[in-house]
Amino acid sequence: MKLRIILFLILLSTPTLGQINTEKMRLGLSESGFAGDVNLTYSVTLGNSELTKIGLGPNFIWRIGRNQVFMLSDLDRVYSKDGTIINKAFSHLRYNHEFTDRYIYEFFLQAQYNRTQNLSHCYLVGTGIRIIPFRREAFMVAIGITGMYEDEELSSGETSRIARGSSYIFVKANREDLISFINTIYVQPALDNWEDFRVLDEAELSVWITKNLALTTALSYNYDSEPPEGIKHYDLELKNGLKFSFSI
């Protein structure tokens, strides 16, 4: 019950299926301080449906020495003739401690809902290690090996409490402040049933207009081997938007 209350407060403080790409929003902060970025997306659909969709994603990081805490959030709001619909939202809170430059301890909490996937809520807590086998100024690779406990409820009232693995590989390439490309692949199998698994592959390209402002394009593919009844196994989404970043 305490875990649910904590996660619910996180969800309220910053708008949010346990499968979320936090890597694309992980902010690089090598020295003590505070930084953040805000992603804004906008799209209009006309014809069979008339919809206006606005996405907002504020992200913040605080670092002291080898310890850092960051909060990631995302909210998609859809406006239609019948009224306003909030499709999905999540909030993710993560703590990192760097044992060395290559080995990093991670602990995280997350709260989420997604009406398009009939997800009433999903709360999870997890921990693990992040390994950076290769890092240069213009290119890096990171591997995450973590486990998590997931508490999920569907719109139908069906509930699920399950332990999952959550491993990922993250690749980032950038050219100074001109352009950056990242790709992340997550694999999340149920620990008691390996046929129940989820996969997320997401790529994002950012072209920097100024030091703090960039145009972004992101393509994501989300696969669930055992989705809720009436929901397809996969989702494919393309997003275009703007990203504003800052540091203090």
Domain ranges of the chain: 2-247
More confident residue, 25 or 118: 118
Structure tokens at 85: 């619909």
Q: For residues 127 and 146, what is the distance between their CA atoms, to the nearest angstrom?
A: 6
More confident residue, 222 or 149: 149
For residue 17, the Cα-to-chain-centroid distance in whole angstroms is 11
Beta carbons of 26 and 70 less than 8 angstroms apart: yes
Average pLDDT on 205-221 reads 87
Q: For residues 27 and 61, what is the distance between their CA atoms, to the nearest angstrom?
A: 7
Domain 2-247, CATH among 2.130.10.10, 2.40.128.130, 3.20.20.370, 2.160.10.10:
2.40.128.130
Q: What single-letter amino acid sits at 43?
A: S
To the nearest whole percent, how much of the chain has pLDDT over 70?
82
Beta carbons of 106 and 95 less than 8 angstroms apart: yes
Stated pTM of the model: 0.69
Structure tokens at 146: 């973590």
> pLDDT (tens digit, 9 = 90+) per residue, 171-198?
999 887 789 899 989 898 998 888 888 8
Q: For residues 90 and 58, what is the distance between their CA atoms, to the nearest angstrom?
A: 11
For residue 237, the Cα-to-chain-centroid distance in whole angstroms is 14
